[in-house]
Amino acid sequence: MRITLQEATESDTVAIHEIQLAAFAPLLEKYRDYGTSPATETLEKTVNRIKNPNSHYYMILADEELAGAIHIVRKETNGSLWISPVFIGTAHQGKGIAQTAMLMAEERFVDDKVWELSTLAEEKGNCLLYEKLGYQRTGKEQKINERATLVYYKKELN
């Protein structure tokens, strides 16, 4: 399977948003994190991400088919890059696409040495993926509700 990243444009908004909602819907049902889940975000938020001059929003293509997306934001406070969200549509999950896409994103920003993200502590598969990619827990945690806690990760490149 050939994985590529393609910069998203406003014309891609609806397709990206639909995959995002579907990808995060099972987690929303499981954790009921209605205030923070990407499954509840508006189409306007996706448009704003694409238009943000301090970020890059890439469509993740698997054999030229839209499989997901990754949004990378330059943090003003410490110069690191923040990934949020990154997701793969349900039809493409479990195929190593997210791992490949994240490594490809790092290759596009070779001058940037610090990457950060957060994920649900309860989603062990996500935690294992990020740890496999070299991310380490920072120790910062944020309780969302009685079902879910965000954990923060950081990766420093040489």
pLDDT at 77 over 90: no
Q: Which domains does the chain have, with CATH numbers?
A: 3-156 (3.40.630.30)
In 3D space, the residue among 88, 17, 96, 18 whose CA is nearest the CA of residue 50 turns out to be: 17
Q: What is the CA radius of gyration of the chain?
A: 15
Predicted confidence (pLDDT) per residue in 13-67, tens digit: 999 999 999 999 999 999 999 999 999 999 999 999 999 999 999 999 999 999 9
Q: pTM (2 decimals)?
A: 0.95
Dist CA 9 CA 106 (whole Å): 20
What tens digit of pLDDT does each residue of 107-140 get? 999 889 999 999 999 999 999 999 999 999 999 9
